[in-house]
């Protein structure tokens, strides 16, 4: 294990990608994740779920369910959708503080940035930041005022 993200699911994905030497295989895995992602309903693809700073259209929505984060998302670009699916799978079921504590350094451990264009790699980071911000907002809303 190269890195520990604080998420077992994300660690497994990072390990799987990091152990793959063929960039084509990494891409295939990301595309496979994209195909498995349940699309975010169109009526939820709004400005407040849109990830800014991405070349393609990306939407992600986090909800707090019994203290843990549940994610939905969609993108009009298959690779970006796969990256989103990777993050959704990796961050699903974590508490908001756990999501916020994920270090973006894991992205390097996947080896994906060697195959991604700079704008895609940047978009990947933007998606993570938006998810962390949503977790922070939801966490703030559930803190009892006393």
Between 3 and 57, name the one with better pLDDT.
Answer: 57
Query: Over the stretch 30-89, which tens digit does the pLDDT of each residue have?
Result: 999 999 999 899 999 999 999 998 778 999 999 999 999 999 999 999 999 999 999 999
Catalytic residue among 13, 54, 86, 91: 54
Per-residue confidence (pLDDT) for residue 97, from 0 to 100: 96
Cβ–Cβ contacts within 10 Å for residue 104, how many? 12
Q: What is the CA angle 72-129-85, rounded to 5?
A: 35
* Residue from 10, 4, 2 nearest 86 by CA: 10
CA distance 33 to 49: 20
Query: Over the stretch 25-39, which tens digit does the pLDDT of each residue have?
Result: 999 999 999 999 998
* Known catalytic residue at 54: yes
Mean pLDDT of the chain: 91
Delineate the domains of the chain, giving CATH numbers in brackets.
8-140 (3.90.1010.10)
Residue linked to tokens 């998420």: 7
Q: Evaluate whether 128 touches 87 at the Cβ level (below 8 Å).
A: yes
């Amino acid at each position: 294990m190269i890195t520990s993200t604080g998420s077992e699911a994300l660690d497994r994905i990072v390990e799987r990608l990091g152990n793959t030497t063929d960039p084509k295989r990494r891409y295939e895995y990301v595309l496979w994740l994209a195909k498995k992602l349940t699309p975010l309903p169109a009526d939820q693809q709004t400005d407040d779920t849109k990830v800014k700073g991405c070349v393609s259209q990306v939407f992600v929505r986090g909800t707090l369910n019994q203290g843990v984060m549940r994610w939905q998302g969609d993108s009009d670009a298959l690779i970006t959708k796969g990256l989103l699916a990777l993050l959704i799978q990796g961050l699903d079921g974590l508490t908001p503080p756990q999501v916020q504590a994920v270090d973006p350094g894991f992205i390097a451990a996947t080896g994906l940035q060697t195959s991604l264009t700079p704008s895609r790699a940047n978009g990947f980071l933007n998606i993570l930041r938006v998810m962390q911000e949503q977790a922070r907002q939801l966490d703030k809303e559930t803190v009892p005022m006393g």
